[in-house]
A and B are shown apart, each in its own frame.
Chain A
């Protein structure tokens, strides 16, 4: 639907604007998995404050906006087993690949990084195959 595309574009510009601000002012890459992962495995201890502040903003601000709008819908599956498997895969995968949708996808592609482009093509490809498999095995999403 065109309205979804326009909202997507506006939201995308905000995401890119945030990433640009982080790069130009703090000199950092806005990668969600890297910022969190560095806190989890201790590799980002030296700049933990910045990481925590960024994650706090990422959790609190959309939280407040969503509540102010009267709640938003995630349409997340209620299958907890599937959620746990997916979470573990995303956690391991993004740390091995050193980036996710924001780091490789937004920050990597925009500087024409070969690693970012290849990673993005691979995770979208693997995602598409997974969706197709889900469809053919359980008959739906």
Chain B
């Protein structure tokens, strides 16, 4: 049952990405192009997605997930080097070609060779990330 729900979630997520235009790299780069021909679509997508999730978070208070277990606890308010460095690197990569992990996977079937190469490179990045995280955790003295 958990896997069936997971598949459904992935399917609805992907459909939303496709319909909203977020698998179109030109729209993503257009949103980040604040000083050019700004495309506001991504803000509507974000707003539309945050709305049901905000209601969902409210509903979780004092309850348990339908299929058991516990709701994820808040990750805290600690702003560490990893969060900042990671977000800067992610933003740069995202802007360079207009793909982030969700849309990259949602367009894997029909996005052509470039999309497949992107996902392969992203997986390679994810493989080396733990080693980099360890060095950042160790602090400047270890570097």
Contacts and interface: CB of A to CB of B under 8 A. Distances in A.
Contacts of A61: 10-12, 14-15
Contacts of B95: 126-128, 130-131, 134
Interface in B89-131: 89-102, 104-112, 114-115, 117-130
Task: State the majority secondary structure of interface residues on A.
Answer: helix
Contacts of A18: 8-13, 16
Interface residues of A, number: 106
Contacts, number: 475
Contacts of B24: 72-75
Nearest to A28: B72
A95 B130 contact: yes
A21 B78 CA distance: 28
A86 B21 contact: no
Contact of B112 (A8, A10, A76, A119): A76
A32 B16 CA distance: 14
Interface string A1-28: 0001101111111111111111111111
19 contacts: A8-B21, A13-B51, A14-B20, A26-B2, A50-B2, A53-B10, A59-B108, A62-B23, A86-B97, A86-B99, A86-B118, A95-B130, A95-B133, A104-B87, A110-B54, A122-B88, A126-B92, A131-B32, A141-B26
Interface of A: 4-5, 7-30, 32-33, 36-37, 40-41, 43, 49-51, 53-67, 71-78, 80, 82-98, 100-102, 104-107, 109-111, 113-115, 118-120, 122-128, 130-132, 134-135, 141
